[in-house]
Structure 1
């Protein structure tokens, strides 16, 4: 038996499949299995095509939230449960679940599994990966459990115990994993002025978007001075983006009759402004009609969608720390400074190069995606740009273009969602792999700007 296992390992190693490719295949396999399950008659209340099932599965596994059908009326309880499981798998990471199961069974985690897990968790080292897995599950289950209890306060009295608890569980999982799937028509617009929904749902996707390392660091250190540099940057960056988004959204949309202007009172307008300020950073829920937003607000929302959340989180985007390092590097350039300093720590040039590579690749992917989608669809350019940005950032917000796209356009959106979720992990593999040049060339000069 041991000889067979050894041969199996040698056979797998002989394939020499890089960890990012294995990870991509795992996500692709989950999409296909999820699509087939959602296509079953037991999963739906009204028949859907296999393509639609695959689109919803892709959106769930990539924790995006874009949909061509109404989830609450199209799928049965079984179908909704399948979507929730896919969201949890995609949000926390497929290899995270695999490692947890293997550890529970007493099976040691080998080096190939650790390499794949490193890519899934967006880490640069192999140290303490199993500890990080335990932290991820502890934080996720605790946050989701508290979210279920809090949301049940609203939905159990309205829908009864069974349906109320199910709504609470589904939306808690969807929110913490930054998926944006909702079981109500119009997302959460029916609860635009409800304090509980406007506090609990954002709290869940903000915690999920901060990253498990940050949440674990806060729990262990509990003092600002003892937090890691990454945690400090994430907390400051997240707070700044929330304040900027809240103030800007309220100022731009206050009198817009299609969004805030139609709301009954000031308190409801403030709740809606708060919600729309935090949801673009890959959460995907909405309490107002995003299609009615001004162009300026739409552009601001797209910028927030591109930034996203934190590393090792359920969020997508280029990440908050990436934006901060870009700003610091730009400021250092104009100050003629050769080093970056923040919170008493310095950043290496290697970190800046990583940020530049990730941002450049992300911008190119969004541009190419928009170009490809615009070829097959002749609709409003801003709506298409919003859709592509939402797909790449795995956000799920839409201005209505999803339902208008043809099969080719929807296929492109599926590819963009998949790249938006798996692509940065693959890029991270190359950023974490050092290559020592064998030949050195003399320095040259080029003129920039």
Structure 2
């Protein structure tokens, strides 16, 4: 028993899983208290748990309207959960340790390495310092821009609070809004300041902290790492392709882009191409999109953001490896080459494992929800993918979920935020080194 506890104590994946679970439970308890409600009526615990999970896992799916149901205190709790979930509780714990001038132990560095999805502990504390500085600086700038714009529509104090809330929510790719009536950013469909600020916050949050560090040091080093090159290329490509396809699909739809001028069409297309990258905001009503466009959003959500970021999904680098594998096989090459670098087989196996685990999770959740909820298949697939990829976009299913459906989505958001691979490491037995290799066999493929 003592040895089992020792293994749990020293396993970074298990510490991450238990840490996130404790934050969610604490958040659910606080949100279920009367002071968190605008009316003073307790939120049912299952709904409080759903909301706390969505905030901590920076998803954005909501069963009650955040703008009208929660009091200012409740909205502040949501904001804190989003910040904790986006940056990670270990990052915040490291910040406290650095402020108190405490030494970061080897065990804590191992946990940070797992939390930041890094392959080495080298420079991990330095990276965490940069993460904190970059994140708070970007959120502060975003809050100032949002506040300046919202001040034209509401009192200054309220505008500043709205600006801070939506800046933190956007940078952490959470997608929570407090405008009321589940409106998200539909009030600002053609507003360039709100649209561009939200887009930039989401993109910076979704790039990953390693890439942001590389970009800020580019003037000094004059080079980018392979990781940063792949992330930037895939991010730009997905945004460009997503914008173009969304524009083409919805151009004649009078319920979405059809009624907007050219500026509104372009802004809305760009906005909706960026937000499925795990952000969760929408500037137009998603329920009136054509089915082809809704399926496009599902694909973008499944790919998601980049490693070490505030977003979810299988990640842009995983998708890049899969594309590289396809092209290498078509061209008859043995190795996957990206930017004149050969990828190791361990990277390829990990990409395939993550993709299959995530695809399996979405399939299972979709099948379960199809049995429990009386909605069309596409609506349910959309919801399942949104929960897994911690996006927060919905076609209206979330507020109508049954109790069992809520529990399934809660578990899906939790798995999506931590990653199925991390959960597998955390819940499975400790890996042991193989002492022998089996003989090689051949099977027919394709």
Same fold by TM-score greater than 0.5:
yes
* 1:87 pairs with one of 65, 82, 85: 82
* 1:423 pairs with one of 412, 419, 423: 419
Asked if the contact 2:357/2:420 (under 8 Å) is kept, the reply is: no
1:101 aligns with 2:96: yes
* 1:149 pairs with one of 109, 125, 144: 144
> How far did 1:18 drift?
2.1
Provide Cα deviations, 1:15-45, integer angstroms capped at 9, x if missing partner. Answer: 5552211111111111110011111111111
Asked if the contact 2:383/2:397 (under 8 Å) is kept, the reply is: yes
Q: Aligned equivalents of 1:427 and 1:231: distance in 2?
A: 26
SS in 1 for 2:347: helix
1:55 aligned partner: 50
Asked if the contact 1:211/1:311 (under 8 Å) is kept, the reply is: yes
Provide Cα deviations, 1:137-172, integer angstroms capped at 9, x if missing partner. Answer: 111011001101111221112212100000000000
SS in 1 for 2:385: helix
* 1:187 pairs with one of 177, 184, 189: 184
- Using the size of structure 2 for normalisation, the TM-score is 0.94
* 1:243 pairs with one of 236, 240, 243: 240
* 1:324 pairs with one of 310, 316, 320: 320
Runs of 4+ residues deviating >6 angstroms? 9-12
In the TM superposition, 1:196-207 aligns within 5 A as 196-207=193-204
* 2:443 pairs with one of 438, 443, 446: 446
2:259 aligned partner: 262
Provide Cα deviations, 1:376-417, integer angstroms capped at 9, x if missing partner. Answer: 113111100000000000000000011121000011001100
1:35 aligned partner: 28
In the TM superposition, 1:291-302 aligns within 5 A as 291-302=287-298
Asked if the contact 2:357/2:421 (under 8 Å) is kept, the reply is: no
Moved more, 94-103 or 9-18: 9-18
The CA RMSD over aligned residues, in Å, is 2.0
2:352 aligned partner: 356
Tell me how many residue pairs correspond in the alignment.
439
2:67 aligned partner: 72
Asked if the contact 2:207/2:231 (under 8 Å) is kept, the reply is: yes
- Using the size of structure 1 for normalisation, the TM-score is 0.94
SS in 1 for 2:440: coil
2:367 aligned partner: 371
SS in 1 for 2:258: helix
Provide Cα deviations, 1:97-144, integer angstroms capped at 9, x if missing partner. Answer: 111212222222222222222221111222111111111111101100
Q: Which runs of 5+ in 2 are unaligned?
A: none
Q: Which runs of 5+ in 1 are unaligned?
A: 1-8
SS in 1 for 2:122: coil
